[in-house]
Structure 1
Amino acid sequence: MSVVFWIIIGLVAGAVAHRVLNSRGGFLGSLVVGLVGALVGGELAHLFRLNVTGGMLDQLVISTLGAILFLFVWKKVFG
């Protein structure tokens, strides 16, 4: 996958996570949350042995769920 693809997925996942949890985050914040969420979601999918084919929609869903989980935990720990 290209770097541009991961940036786009990260931005979308981060923006959705910020919207779902009603938090603030600009361009860079959404990108970081989305990329960390992709790592978290990917590890959880691997841990639970989910059959993810690697398509764009699969990666977007996994990244978004991981970003929501990451942002939720971040807000609970750091206020």
Structure 2
Amino acid sequence: MKNIVSISNARKDLPKMIKELQKNPETVFLVQVRNETIAEIRSSKRLVEPGEAVQKLIRLRQKVYLYGKGNE
């Protein structure tokens, strides 16, 4: 979820924004000056670890391969 905030509100509400990021790591705050996005504030926690998607695909492929072999 993306939230647009002005730079003055970002300065004022930074503690609230940090608490929101701790509760919902997928939240992104876009900081704007004169309707131009100049920064993003997001959680440093990764929602998916590097390589996790590849490992899931490999396991899925192995299951499909084994399932296909059993039906011949």
Higher strand fraction (1 or 2): 2
Q: Which has the higher contact order (CA 8 A, sep 6+)?
A: 1
User: TM (normalized to structure 2)?
Assistant: 0.31
| Structure with max Cα Rg | 2
Higher helix fraction (1 or 2): 1
User: TM (normalized to structure 1)?
Assistant: 0.28
